[in-house]
Amino acid sequence: MARLLLTNGLLAALMGVGVVVPVAAAWLESGTLTPLGLGVGSAGCGLITCGVTALLAGAFRPRGPSLPGGVRAAVAATVLFLAFFAFEFSDRLVRQGGRVVYWNAFLFLPTLLLFYGLLSARRWAWWTTRGLAGLSCLWFLAFVAVIPFADVRGEEGPVPWHGRVYMACVSLAFAGILAGAYWSLGRPEARGYFGLVRREGTAAAESNAAADGSGEAG
């Protein structure tokens, strides 16, 4: 129970921060908040409050078995991406005229499903998360290689050099997070948490037993 409170509290708090930051930026830019911005900001503050409350409640509960380090790293990566999706959604809703239909809008629910799959030690979550982490890492690295040469355009025309540097830095940060998640899920303690080491060990034992049996028969 404590583990669920801590992980879900962290997720809610960081998503709340991601929601509030664009609202604060819009307020600093215009000096006022629209009713929509006020509502979004209130929702973000509510998420932060609920998240901090869950973190405090989890901190004072008896601790059960902790997640292996490799699984914690993968869970942290999904939390960061969910917080980023919340940031993008809030920014597009408050500062970009409500244009919320974007590529990351379709990734929020699948990433949330992977988050709970990792917490509940589902094997499909291990396979899916590790596969997507590896492919997405390669995709972001390829994007970094293309940025200096591609005709990248924004709402005001071609993106200047400092905008390209920013895009490259963000892409490298995402690639680093995804590479860390891929590597951490491959560690023995993470594979054991999902029951993969036991299965591989059993298969190896059966193979050795079959080899010994064939040797004795011969």
**Do the Cβ atoms of 110 and 59 come closer than 8 Å?**
no
CA atoms of 103 and 64, how far apart (whole Å): 38
**Which residues of the chain fall short of a pLDDT of 50?**
199-218
Task: Give the global pTM.
Answer: 0.82
Give the pLDDT confidence score for residue 52 in this predicted structure. 95
Give the pLDDT confidence score for residue 206 in this predicted structure. 45
Give the pLDDT confidence score for residue 116 in this predicted structure. 94
Tens-place pLDDT, residues 143-187: 999 888 877 776 666 778 778 888 899 999 999 999 999 999 999
Give the pLDDT confidence score for residue 40 in this predicted structure. 93
**Do the Cβ atoms of 6 and 54 come closer than 8 Å?**
yes
Rounded to whole angstroms, what are the CA distances from 178 to 48, 133, 173, 181?
A: 25, 5, 9, 5
Give the pLDDT confidence score for residue 29 in this predicted structure. 86
CA atoms of 208 and 218, how far apart (whole Å): 15
Give the pLDDT confidence score for residue 47 in this predicted structure. 95
Give the pLDDT confidence score for residue 183 in this predicted structure. 94
CA atoms of 137 and 38, how far apart (whole Å): 36
Give the pLDDT confidence score for residue 197 in this predicted structure. 67
